A and B are shown apart, each in its own frame.
Chain A
Amino acid sequence: MSVRGPIIDFPPEASCFDLEGLSLAYGETPALQELTLRVPRHRVTAFIGPSGCGKSTLLRALNRLHDLNESVSRRGRIRLEGQDIHAPEVAVDELRRRVGMVFQTPNPFPMSIYDNVAFGLRLRGGLTRRRRDDIVEWALSAAALWDEVKDRLRASAWSLSGGQQQRLVIARTLAVKPEVLLLDEPASALDPISTLKIEDLIRSLKGQLTLVLVTHNMQQAARVSDYTAFLQQGRLVEYAPTDTLFTNPRLARTENYITGRMA
């Protein structure tokens, strides 16, 4: 028994993403079914759920990374700030600049720290070197990495630790000034201290941009997110402000999952 019309306490004009009956399938295998939900602007929204529930699939749908995979079919609509992201006039590279993404495995490019952060800037060009330097410094500071790397910007990005690499990837994404930051289990490959740093970073960023977080870690979702959506088998089960969902879930299935008694 799933509940449609989740509890939301923000007006429609405060939503950043607006999903309407979104269904997605890999070949014949459905991954998302009839998903309808709104993601609030300048807040942290967490997607939780068991493995294979479709939460990463949903995240990748938001910046059209599925375009690469020919076997993926889609129905329904995703609107970003009111505009359908699949409309023909939307350029996919432009969309991805507005909707940045950080992956589970830290994936810095095999180049220097500076070049990694400047990668997105150089794609569009048109910046003076001075301006680019400023943005790189700003992005690294915003990702709380500047103090650790400012003396070795020319060093290879692969010489950084895992946690530093993940923050570098976040800085790289921030440098192109996205409106939305999608985080696909950004801390699952990191040690506890690095995880805490990433979580602090998420909290510090939410004033400036919309964050969507996919996580396995319930405590993490509870710690950093404002809203939480619980997905199961490609369907939205419950979607509520995080406090409500974790303290007072409406459905037994949700409660079982967050308390660790998975059916």
Chain B
Amino acid sequence: MSAVRAALQRRRPRAEGAGAWLAAGCVALSLLLLGALLLLIAVRGLGHFWPASVSLVELDDGRRLAGRAVRELPLPDGEGRERLYFTGNRGLDGQVWHWLPVARIVAESRPRDLVVLERRRWGDFIGRLVAVEPAPDAVAAGAGNGATAWAQLEARLAALERLREARDTLQRETIRPLARRLEADPGDGEARRALAAATARAARLRAAMDETILVLESVDGRRLRQPLDEVLAARRPNALSTWEKLAAWMQGVWRFLSEGPSAANSAGGVWPAIFGTVLMVLVMSLLVTPFGVLAAFYLNEVAHQGRLTRLVRIAVRNLAGVPSIVYGVFGLGVFVYGLGGTLDEWFFSDALPTPTFGTGGLLWASLTLALLTLPVVIVASEEGLARIPDHQREGALALGATRLEMLGRVVLPMAVPAMLTGVILAIARAAGEVVPLMLVGVAKLAPQIPVDGDFPFLHLDRKFMHLGYHIYGAAFHGDDVQAAMPLVFATALLLVLVILVLNLTAIFLRHHVSTRHAAPSRR
């Protein structure tokens, strides 16, 4: 072994070692940060649905409060600590958060009869259930017994759920079709009578729903009459076993995923936002794929490879760097006001001045995002086309294929995986994009999803909800930002998951296509 070689081999492991450690350290740090991010939003988001225990707190001045301990901090002057309680009862107190110095708390207990009610208005109630009215006659005398009242409450809630379903079915299957029939033919007497009967039935159902009143009492003795219809959920967290809590947690997560928002987006579920996000991304993919692929085909296969083509290529690449708000402004000006306004004048002039397409909507949002992600698709497709060796093209031509046959039968199938890679990148970018949407069609509240049973079933002109915008709205524009915070984290987690699922779908698709068109064994 020569001296040079020996010297090289002495030095190499050391240099490589340090470099390898540095690189591994960077990777580990990135993974750690990513993991910490996901962990944070997962814990803070999912923890929200856990039915935490409720404490009954007595203060040294005799005040009594019931609430959920949220966090504890040292007092500003450094002496002792104070604790934040969520006490609910906005209708009674006007204030749902209480900071209590720990030193002033005389007693803290967790009575099993404390109930937590989620209400449609006024947020949560925390206190005791006194009675359910109108009481079944047999137990009327025993009013004040919390356990009996609780059993009645559960029975009434189940009954209420059945009533709601009956009303919704009536609405959907009888009233709405009849109303449409009348709209088409105002002279249809039979429909008018049937509609009147159905409306009366709906009113009876409504009355039955409004009938039940809960008598509630806060821990400091104030009474409250609460219509049961406004109660979304009721539970006694201190009386729940761990399994029951887990069941309640899963129910909470499910309701978050499947229901619409309530209380100005600071409570309730996000189903319309999930649906809107996914639908918008799908429509965008359908729009951007053909455009991007055809553009890439033109640039790579048809255009004369001269200075102009190079210039166009550079321009396309640079488009990817244009800030998304600029696309939003463009979408607003060109799609919403320009295209949409023209469409309204031509086809929906009888609805004017109320705009149909001349306002933000799902279609315009998808188009804007398609434009935003077009460079990604073009660049990825072009790289896929450029990677196909020339001898494949010549092989097809030498068999007597025309240029079109060569492109369609040999080049396109080989380029499909690269094109799908482009679409994956486009989806990843578009699903997380919020800023341009604010200009071209996202709505803070659009509980009606853009797909329903009314012709033409898919309503691309409607405004829609988006998870990203929902986060923004809930975090900064709610009545009670503090209360909405867990929902913000939960929605953020959901957004990440939705993007993950969309990407995995596309990756699965690409894998499927590439194993069909090419042999993995030799490359």
Contact = CB atoms under 8 A, between A and B. Distances in A.
A100 B394 CA distance: 11
Contacts of B519: 110, 156-159
B25 interface: no
Nearest to B399: A120
Nearest to B410: A109
Interface in A104-130: 104-105, 107-111, 119-120, 123-124
Given A93-B401, A110-B414, A70 B396 contact: no
A96 B401 CA distance: 8
B321 to A, nearest CB: 33
A176 interface: yes
A107 B396 CA distance: 9
A97 interface: yes
Nearest to B409: A119
Contacts of B397: 65, 68, 93, 96
Interface string B480-523: 00000000000000000000000000000000000001110111
Contacts of B521: 156, 158-159
B402 interface: yes
B225 interface: no
Contact of A158 (B389, B394, B402, B518): B518
A173 B399 contact: yes
Interface string B316-349: 0000000000000000000000000000000000
A103 interface: yes
B398 A101 contact: yes
Given A96-B400, A158-B522, A103 B304 contact: no
B399 A107 contact: no
Contact of B399 (A70, A157, A176): A176
Nearest to B305: A70
Contacts of A108: 395
A172 interface: yes
A77 to B, nearest CB: 22
B413 interface: yes
Contacts of B410: 109
B405 interface: yes
B169 interface: no
Contact of A111 (B402, B405, B517): B517
Interface in A50-95: 63, 65, 68, 70, 93-94
A121 B323 CA distance: 51
B399 A100 contact: yes
A224 interface: no
Contacts of A169: 395
B518 A96 contact: no
Contacts of A94: 400
Nearest to A156: B519
Contact of B398 (A110, A158, A159, A173): A173
Contact of A107 (B391, B402, B517, B518): B391
B193 to A, nearest CB: 65
B399 A172 contact: yes
B364 to A, nearest CB: 40
A102 B8 CA distance: 47
Most buried by A among B401, B405, B522: B522
Nearest to A158: B519
Given A96-B400, A97-B400, A109 B304 contact: no
B392 interface: yes
Contacts of A120: 399-401
A124 B405 CA distance: 11
A176 B519 CA distance: 25
Given A70-B304, A107-B389, A159 B399 contact: no
Contacts of A157: 519
Nearest to A95: B400
Contacts of A109: 392, 395-396, 410
Contacts of B400: 93-94, 96-97, 120, 123-124, 176
Nearest to B405: A123
In the A-B complex, list the 7 residue pairs whose CB atoms are closest, starting with the nearest: A156-B519, A97-B400, A158-B519, A120-B399, A101-B398, A110-B518, A107-B395
25 contacts: A65-B397, A68-B394, A94-B400, A96-B398, A103-B391, A103-B394, A103-B395, A103-B398, A104-B391, A107-B392, A109-B392, A110-B413, A119-B399, A119-B409, A120-B399, A120-B401, A123-B401, A156-B518, A156-B521, A158-B518, A159-B519, A159-B521, A159-B522, A172-B399, A176-B400
Interface of A: 63, 65, 68, 70, 93-94, 96-97, 100-101, 103-105, 107-111, 119-120, 123-124, 156-159, 169, 172-173, 176
Given A119-B401, A172-B399, A173-B399, 15 more contacts: A63-B398, A65-B397, A93-B397, A96-B398, A96-B399, A100-B399, A101-B394, A103-B395, A103-B398, A110-B413, A110-B519, A156-B518, A158-B518, A158-B519, A159-B522
